[in-house]
Amino acid sequence: MKHLSLLKFMVIGALSCGIISCQQKKPGTVTEEGFPREKTLYLAGFQWGDPNTFNPLSDWPAFPVGGKYNLMYEPLVVFNSITGKIEGLLADSPERTDSTISVKMNPMARWSDGKPLTSADVKFTFEIGKRFKGAPTAYVWDFISDITVDTVVDSSASGEMKLEKIVFFINKKERNNPLVVMDILQNIRIVPRHSIEALLAEAGGELAELQKLKFDKDPVVSGPYNLLRYSNEKIVLKRRDDYWGCMALYNNRLPQPVYIIHPIYKSNDHFSIALQQGNLDISATFIPRIWLKAKEGVATWYKKEPFFIPATIPMLQINTTRYPLSDRNVRRAMAYAINYKDIRELAVSGYSPPILSGLILPFGVEADYCNAEDIQKYGVSYDPEKARAIMKEAGYTSVFDADGKLNHVKNAKGEKVPTMSVKSPAGWSDWESMVQIAVKGMRAAGIDVREGFVDASLYWSCMPVGDFDLLMQKPVPEVTPSKPWSRFDAVMSSRNWKPEGEKMNENQGRYNNPSSKDYNPEVDNLLKRIPTLTDNEEKIKAYRQLNIIFMQDMPALPLAYLPEQFYEFSTRNWINFPTEENSYAPPQCLCYGAGTKALWEIKSVAAE
Amino acid sequence: MLKRYPTVRYIVTRGGWYFLTFLVAVTLNFFLPRMGKSNPIDIIMAKVGGGLDTKAAQAKEEAYLKEFGLVELDAQKNIRRSADGKPVRTPVWKQFRNYVGMCLRGDLGTSFLNYPKKVVDIIKQAIPWTIALQLPTIIFGWIIGNVLGALAAYRRGIFDGVFFPLALLANAMPFFAFGMLLMYLFAIIWPIFPAVGGYAGNLVPTLSWTFLSSMAYHYILPFFSIFLILAGGQAIGMRSMCIYELGTDYVKYAKWLGVRENKILMYMFRNAMLPQLTGLALSIGQMIGGALITEMIFSYPGLGMALLTAIQGNDYPVIQGCTLLVTVSVLCANFIVDILIGFLDPRVKAGIAGGGK
């Protein structure tokens, strides 16, 4: 075999020239020996597939632009998912009045080219959405009617200082929803007016043209890192030692990692292997049975179950316009028939605490609104006997074969009830197991449901038009200030109700048709009212009402609680990651929300 | 006129057929991805529409339809709408016309899902890795496999007794199972080789010794995961071909005549090789698809994954670009082999000279 490896090396040599010449070259000072391990943080699970663009005005740019990341472009404020508080970044935390939400800009904020980051940049960023329908900020104008800037004098111990105060006027005519405005303040990343205005002019004033630019060569950013280089295998960020926040927010300290590398893997198993081998420091992917990896130095937020902070609810959305799902009794029977304990233990590796009925998480920020009495009275739990009883009472007869398998179901008129199917993307293993367990329970209780795993692309196409009986879904998974309102809105709102076949982006189960005789106007009223409430008692009351309606009507079947983002870290090369015992920052993977501050606190093992 | 040059005529007629095949393939490449029920815009909306209001989502969707040329525009470049206010979709035949026009200009278009990345860039960045991994593996696997197969047939005895079952075993093993087995054994249980990637995670591609050696080191497991199976398969084929040739009249006759053993071996090898040569051409065409599994098992860079993602996401321009590449390489490889066989196979050669097909 010796001559073989020699030949192989020759071939590699020849072909590597080709490969190198095809990689995007970025100016950088990296030595040929590679990035030093003790100064580099490896973080993965956010970028899948080739990086497409780093354009902050694109709808889905590559990591860490867009989305919720704060490493290159920053929002005005950030949300802390453990305290539920909105923390300042480019501006201080917002003040809310009846008709406005305002923030004061941090006067020390600077762009990477040294220019100050001011209210002009903020206004520019938002107003792009007014000028162009296709802009990522276009939707905000349903919620904001105007943005004005005042100058206020801030007197502190160090003397008087003039500050810019940005006032966002709530769009009372359209949506009148201060909660979403709060979301917007931490969702929208501010872009540099001076550089983008010029580029936009070059693009002939067309946003579509501007969106074709990749912004990958030394872009003007405000965050603590900037893009160094990228290929289809990884994205490399380098620390900006002149980041304004070091002085303004961190007592003149720098973030610990000089480089952040996001490797792009092609298979889920590789995250687990890389973490255990110490080639990856943080991963945001689903890794089953995480406790088995503890001996390799892999850990999570909690040391024990549920390991992660629950924040989202995967559920079966029900098409309430299709028979027999239009019958509330069938939906409630289904909810009683699902073995939630099996889902928790078998499908999601115990990463979910025991689930309670309703759409409100019984812990964390939402716990205030979750009422145990209501759940006791109206809620459901695994009880197959009860499921059978409901079906029987509603006039359905389940016909079983001799071997105990469900054959079909008849209704009161003696007609055969159509078999329902649960649409879910094929190959999403944790979702597949959840669906399998749910279907098994429902069939055992005499409800004729089958699994319907389809190609993901078909799944996405069927979702908005309501082409499903039941659909596995995880609506609005991000942890934002508007929870749990936004979850209710995504499942129950009939604000834009359309019949099956036309697209809806919320309430895809077509629950509560406004033109039907059973329309319950209270649902939409509550959804409209809750965002405007400021009194906590009133809010609790309204949420309780809404949750009771949900539990009675069951337009969807919540299955478990899962984290917003998985968060696993390896302590082989870096330590002092935020955990339950050391909760100085939320588990937001060191790159989004208030989680970014952990970059200043982690420590390199080699430096210890 | 061509009648006087039978070889040229053979090449030209063959070339004509290949061109026709090419046209059919290109048309299929265009229409097949569009026959499904799903469409790329829905998938994009699933990516960007989360949390958007129905109306906002609609505005966004129309912006994309316009950008990707999937709706009809009026003179002011606004979206043309039907009576009920819905955008008028561009009919497929018009899209096909645009596609053919772009192909002729050498423009493969822009990816939908990786917008605004050009399809050419996607292919250009990934294809060297695919070729670097697949081409040497296929060629070495083919050569080594055939030589060993011929030897096994000729020598028989212990060599064949040990070698043949091993080759059968290698050939029967699926690519992915063998790749995973190699990774489990040599990257996890006994970690002497890296588990994932085309080069070390802390490096960027440069023309340096560190990078090149890291690349070679990461090359070993993926290489063997394909090579051994491929060589095994070739060896089995070659062995039975040679055994068959050993029993033919010309070999017996040559032996009676007392022709030197090496000479007989050469005759035999040449004849037995012909079907194997066609197999080689086909496997070169399957390079891109075959690379996918290796890419997924080792997170190895390459075009397979790009093609898979494109197919899953109905990213028409990328699917078309990749399938065009596959079509061209399969056809070229086959064409070359066809011509080679014309020269190598005495029967075909005689046929050409005799003015046959």
- What would the pLDDT profile of A283-322 be if each residue is shown by its tens digit? 999 998 999 999 999 999 999 999 999 999 999 999 999 9
Nearest to A142 among B37, B56, B313 (CB): B56
Residue of B nearest to A139 (CA): B56
Q: pLDDT digit string (tens) for A44-97? A: 999 988 899 999 999 889 999 987 899 999 999 999 988 889 999 999 999 999
Does residue A48 sit in the same domain as residue A110? no
Mean pLDDT lowest among A5-19, A257-271, A445-459, B297-311: A5-19
Q: What's the Cα-to-Cα distance from A356 to each of A312, A329, A363, A378, rounded to whole Å?
A: 13, 19, 11, 11
Q: What's the number of domains chain A is made of? A: 3
Does residue A300 sit in the same domain as residue A279? yes
Does residue A394 sit in the same domain as residue A493? yes
pLDDT of residue B187: 92
Residues 6+ apart with CB under 8 A from A164: A104, A105, A107, A118, A119, A149, A150, A151, A152
DSSP A224-249: SEEEEEE-SSEEEEEE-TT-HHHHHH
Mean pLDDT lowest among A307-321, A396-410, B74-88: B74-88
- Paired residues of A604 in beta bridges: A574
State the Cα–Cα distance between residues A150 and A40, nearest whole angstrom.
42
Q: pLDDT digit string (tens) for A538-567? A: 999 999 999 999 999 999 999 999 999 999
pLDDT of residue B334: 86
Q: pLDDT digit string (tens) for B49-63? A: 776 778 888 888 888
User: A24 — phi, psi (to 5°)?
Assistant: -70, 125
Peptide bond into A75 cis (omega under 30): no
Do B79 and B66 meet the contact criterion of CB atoms below 8 Å apart? yes
State the Cα–Cα distance between residues A380 and A386, nearest whole angstrom.
10
pLDDT of residue B290: 74
Share of residues in chain A with pLDDT > 90 (%): 81
- Asked if B53 and A496 come within 8 Å (Cβ–Cβ), the reply is yes
Residue of B nearest to A208 (CA): B67
**Could you give the dihedral angle defined by the CA atoms of residues B312, B318, B320 and B325, in that order, rounded to the nearest 10 degrees?**
-110
- Paired residues of A162 in beta bridges: A153
From chain A, pick out residues whose CB is under 8 angstroms from the CB of B36. 457-458
**Sequence letter at residue B104:** L
**Could you give the dihedral angle defined by the CA atoms of residues A323, A329, A332 and A334, in that order, rounded to the nearest 10 degrees?**
-50
Do B176 and B293 meet the contact criterion of CB atoms below 8 Å apart? yes
Of A505 and B269, the structure prediction assigns the larger pLDDT to: A505
Does residue A469 sit in the same domain as residue A578? no
E strands of A45-130, at which residues?
77-79, 86-88, 95-96, 100-104
User: Does a structural domain hold residue A295?
Assistant: yes
Beta-sheet pairing, A470-473 with A420-425: parallel
pLDDT tops 80 at residue A156: no
From chain B, pick out residues whose CB is under 8 angstroms from the CB of A277. 191, 195
Beta-sheet pairing, A259-263 with A40-44: parallel
From chain A, pick out residues whose CB is under 8 angstroms from the CB of B313. 457
Beta-sheet pairing, A259-263 with A234-239: antiparallel
Does residue A63 sit in the same domain as residue A159? no
- By CB atoms closer than 10 A (0-12, 13-18, 19+), residue B279 is middle
pLDDT, average across residues A112-136: 93
**What confidence tier does B343 reach under pLDDT thresholds 50, 70, 90?**
confident
Nearest to A211 among B116, B300, B309 (CB): B116
**What confidence tier does B293 reach under pLDDT thresholds 50, 70, 90?**
confident
Does residue A43 sit in the same domain as residue A140? no
**Sequence letter at residue A180:** V
- Asked if A265 and B196 come within 8 Å (Cβ–Cβ), the reply is yes
Do A145 and A172 meet the contact criterion of CB atoms below 8 Å apart? yes
Q: What's the Cα-to-Cα distance from A237 to each of A7, A262, B71, B313, rounded to whole Å?
A: 37, 8, 39, 28
Domain boundary among A139, A165, A199: A199
Specify the CATH number for the domain of residue A137: 3.90.76.10
Q: Is B201 on the interface with A (CB under 8 A)?
A: yes
Residue A508 burial (CB count, 10 A): 26
Q: Tell me the three state secondary structure of residue A259.
A: strand
Does residue A423 sit in the same domain as residue A553? yes
- Asked if A498 and B144 come within 8 Å (Cβ–Cβ), the reply is no
Of A435 and B244, the structure prediction assigns the larger pLDDT to: A435
Measured between CA atoms, how close is A169 to chain B, in angstroms?
A: 19
Q: pLDDT digit string (tens) for A578-599? A: 999 999 999 999 999 899 999 9
Angle, in degrees to the nearest 10, between helices A521-529 and A536-553: 150
Share of residues in chain B with pLDDT > 70 (%): 96
- By CB atoms closer than 10 A (0-12, 13-18, 19+), residue A151 is exposed
- Asked if A32 and B208 come within 8 Å (Cβ–Cβ), the reply is yes
pLDDT, average across residues B4-16: 84
Residue A157 burial (CB count, 10 A): 4
User: Does a structural domain hold residue A213?
Assistant: no
Q: Which residue has the tokens 């440069």?
A: B206
Residue B257 burial (CB count, 10 A): 8
Nearest to A32 among B114, B117, B206 (CB): B206
Q: Tell me the three state secondary structure of residue B119.
A: helix
User: Does a structural domain hold residue A56?
Assistant: yes
User: Does a structural domain hold residue A210?
Assistant: no
* CATH class of residue range B119-355: mainly alpha
Q: What's the Cα-to-Cα distance from B114 to each of A6, A58, B33, B82, rounded to whole Å?
A: 38, 11, 17, 30
Q: Tell me the three state secondary structure of residue B315.
A: coil
- Asked if B210 and A34 come within 8 Å (Cβ–Cβ), the reply is yes
From chain A, pick out residues whose CB is under 8 angstroms from the CB of B41. none
User: B32 — phi, psi (to 5°)?
Assistant: -55, -50
Does residue A93 sit in the same domain as residue A146? yes
DSSP A293-311: GGGGTEE-SSSSTT-S-EE
Domain range enclosing A404:
310-563
Average pLDDT of the residues of chain A: 91
Q: Where in chain B is the domain with CATH 1.10.3720.10?
A: 119-355
- Asked if A457 and B313 come within 8 Å (Cβ–Cβ), the reply is yes
Does residue A435 sit in the same domain as residue A462? yes
Peptide bond into A477 cis (omega under 30): no
Do A412 and A395 meet the contact criterion of CB atoms below 8 Å apart? yes
pLDDT tops 50 at residue A24: no
Does residue A579 sit in the same domain as residue A449? no
pLDDT, average across residues B267-274: 83
In angstroms, the first-to-last Cα distance of chain A is: 45
